[in-house]
Structure 1
Amino acid sequence: MLSLARSLQQSLPTLLHRSGATFSSSTSLRGLEELVVLSPKEDAKPPVTGRGWEAADLRKKSWDDLHKLWFVLLKERTRLQGERLMYRARQERMPDPSRITKVRKSMARIKAVLTERLAEHQDPAVRLQLKAFIDGL
């Protein structure tokens, strides 16, 4: 178990760097501490969030940008789930639980946009590879 944690700690910075941290506005942390949820301070303000990604906005992005955004959203979803569990264990209400829904819907919209792009390819072999890629997300 310890070796698995050590292995993840060593490889996570590389994976996160490839995932497109340029989309994130948070401070740049590396390693497992990116996913650690800390208890909020007493005087902490509730999180301010924007809207989720709309399909029209996602259609303007390249394959690479969508792939990077997917991993940023995946990291955020994991962090939010940890936060939700922390508040549930403390029997408190999570501030702005709609953040989880926004991330989940944005991820579903990325998959929908990528699936739409499958129709653009005429070669069945390319379509099969792309479909396997999308299904693997």
Structure 2
Amino acid sequence: MSVPSRLFSQGLQIRQSSLPPAFLLPSLFTSSFSTSSPLSARRDGNPNRGVSALRRTGLRRRQTLSVKPEDLPRPVTDSKERSEIDVDPNHGLWGFFNRERFPFATPEYDNSHGRAWTVQELRGKDFEDLHKLWWVCVRERNRLSTESYERGKAKAGYGEYEAGAREEEVKHTQKAIKHVLTERWYAWEDARMLAESDPSVNLYPKSGVRCA
């Protein structure tokens, strides 16, 4: 047998050995769910395709608007002609504004503040007072952040130093509150562990279950 014939017979044997058994051949073929012929790609019928206000593409050619420019309402620029809106002077949202209720406070207002609370002073406060003081600090920092944003939009050029110094005092108060709460937690945890080791103390009289 020549070399090409031998290679052909070997290749045929390898191919036959790689084929699956005859009873598995039907599982290799699948039928489509639909017998209809496949359709071509559906065309997009959106007439506003490609028109984007974010990308400022503008209107398409021969595109008309449903509202004409003369039908648009005109804003009232004169403050005397605007209708007055009744606002509750005691509304809770006024707490997020300064005392004068201006968009941003003056440097004199932000600079007129005291020092931060110390840890020694806060140790004598109960949990309710600490909770109230914490949220007063949160509201004050919210006001300072909002006024800093408005001051940047108006390009005022003043008040950042005074507002920053006031916010630092508020942050020191919040750190002192966290310090006091951490001390109380450690004191409570030490007392709990001491009571757990004392057999004469039952911390759970109702359930009678003691935790390790």
TM-score, length-scaled by structure 2: 0.40
| Mapped pair 1:70 → 2:134 | yes
Determine which structure has more spread, i.e. the larger CA radius of gyration.
Answer: 2
| Mapped pair 1:58 → 2:122 | yes
Residue 36 of structure 1, CA deviation = 4.1
More helix by share: 1
Give the secondary-structure state (helix, strand or coil) at the position aligned to 1:123: helix
Structure 1 residues 77, 40: closer, same or farther in 2, change over 3 A?
Answer: closer
Give the secondary-structure state (helix, strand or coil) at the position aligned to 1:46: helix
Does the 8 A contact of 2:118 with 2:176 survive in 1? yes
Give the secondary-structure state (helix, strand or coil) at the position aligned to 2:115: coil
Matches within 5 A, 1:8-87: 29-36=90-97, 38-39=102-103, 46-47=108-109, 48-87=112-151
Does the 8 A contact of 2:104 with 2:150 survive in 1? no
Matches within 5 A, 1:103-114: 103-114=170-181
Residue 45 of structure 1, CA deviation = 6.9
Residue 99 of structure 1, CA deviation = 0.5
Long gaps (5+) in structure 1: 1-27, 125-137
May I ask how many residue pairs the two structures share in their alignment?
A: 95
Distance 1:101 1:45 in 2: 15
Long gaps (5+) in structure 2: 1-88, 194-212
Q: Aligned residues: percent identity? A: 31
Residue 29 of structure 1, CA deviation = 3.8
Residue 109 of structure 1, CA deviation = 1.2
TM-score, length-scaled by structure 1: 0.59
